[in-house]
Amino acid sequence: MKQLSCLYTLLFFFSLQALGQQTVHKKLNQLMLDESFSELNDIWPVLTNDDNFFVFDDGEYFMNRTKTGSPYAIMANWENDLNTFSIRTSLMLGPVESMSQSLGLVLRASSDGQSALICEINKFHRFRIRQLIEGKYVIISTEGKEGWIKNAIIKGINEYNDINIRTNGTDHDLYINGLLIYSFRVEGLETGSFGLFIGPETKGRVDFISIHADELYRDKSKIYLTDSEVRELISDNEKLRLELEQSLDARALELENAIRILENQLKTMRLINTQLDKENTEYAVIKSAVDTNHVNLLMDLSHKVINNTLENRQLKIENKLISDSLNNVKIHFENLELELFQKVIDKKMEEQHFIDSILTKFCTVDTVFLPFDTLAIDSLRIDSIITTSPILEKE
């Protein structure tokens, strides 16, 4: 009995895997779109009319189609040229009496709505895959009745089903709740839009939608950098940050100095205002003391006071100029006196020099008062001079 139970379990497991053999081996890890429906945006529209009620509701996209007989596809306003990608979402069917309700994804939809791939689930734990060609549906999951294939991994009403479709452009792998349940191949597909598919008389919710591209894909609307370029940008950004901080520090210092100057000016203005208040108080006392009939007299006195004040200021300025002039004259006189003294001294020196030169040249020695030894020596010199003089011969 246990062996039979194990056999049934293995048969059930293989029945789950029979239709799903992995065909897509690309690394689809480059995030292109991440929608959590946390706030309104331009990608997913809000639609409210007699047939459809599609709104953002507390982090989910609530969908309710009341029209009978026909499904509806609502497309994302998101342009792309993806051919190799992975699209993943979480869908939940709501409770309705309709037997034809379904909810799913739309892939590769053309702009004219004539071609697309559609993957949908229903409340009977079934999934279906169809292709829209020139406005007509062609069933791809032909193993089931009308294309509906039952799989126990699919959850029912009021339960979220995680759906992930991975494709390399031709081959497609369908994962539901983490398990590969179906693989199919479609040739000649073109790139197109993504969207959500809702059947007639269907109510449901979408928790999120994310789309990933191949790790080597390069979106034309984005700029891709090498590691060296990224490092260079980081380095440049760090330099700019330091320059900005230094600039901000210099600006802060400049502002502090400006504030300090303004504070000093404010203090000065307060002192001036205090002085003016004091003068106004004194003026008010004077004004109150004068009868209103003598206002002209008060004005005349005020003008005289102002004029006298101005004259006093002018006199102070003139006194200062005179004082400075006197100081300059005094300094000039002292310099002149020094020059005159120097000239007198020079003149005296010249006269003394002249007298000394005359005495040296024209005056003889007075021997009266000279000592005897000195005379003897001089007489000897005279005699010797006379002795040695030549003798004249007489004829």
pLDDT tens-digit map of 167-219: 999 999 999 999 999 999 999 999 999 999 999 999 999 999 999 999 999 88
- CATH fold of 16-213 reads Jelly Rolls (2.60.120)
Q: What is the pLDDT of residues 127-168, one digit of tens each?
A: 999 999 999 999 999 999 999 999 999 999 999 999 999 999
Q: What is the pLDDT of residues 53-106, one digit of tens each?
A: 999 999 999 999 999 999 999 999 999 999 999 999 999 999 999 999 999 999
Q: What is the DSSP letter of 38?
A: S
pLDDT grade for 293, boundaries at 50, 70 and 90 = low
Beta-carbon count within 10 A of 183 CB? 16
CA distances to 79, 125, 318, 330 from 141, in Å: 28, 15, 115, 123
pTM of the predicted protein model = 0.57
Q: How much of the chain, in percent, has pLDDT values that exceed 70?
A: 82
* Residue 377 confidence (pLDDT): 43
Residues 6+ apart with CB under 8 A from 374: 367
User: For residue 203, what is the enclosing H or E element?
Assistant: strand 202-213
Mean confidence (pLDDT) of the chain: 82
CA 348 from centroid of its chain's CA atoms: 87
- Domain segments of the chain as ranges: 16-213, 225-289, 294-362
CA 129 from centroid of its chain's CA atoms: 51
Q: Is the pLDDT of residue 295 over 70?
A: no
Report yes or no: 61 and 205 within 8 Å, Cβ to Cβ: yes
Rounded Cα gap, residues 140 and 118, in angstroms: 10
Name the phi and psi angles at 193, rounded to 5: -85, 165
Q: Is the pLDDT of residue 379 over 70?
A: no
- Cα dihedral sign for 28, 186, 160, 46? positive
Give 331 or 149, the one with higher predicted confidence. 149
Q: What is the DSSP letter of 123?
A: T
Tell me the average pLDDT across 245-273: 82
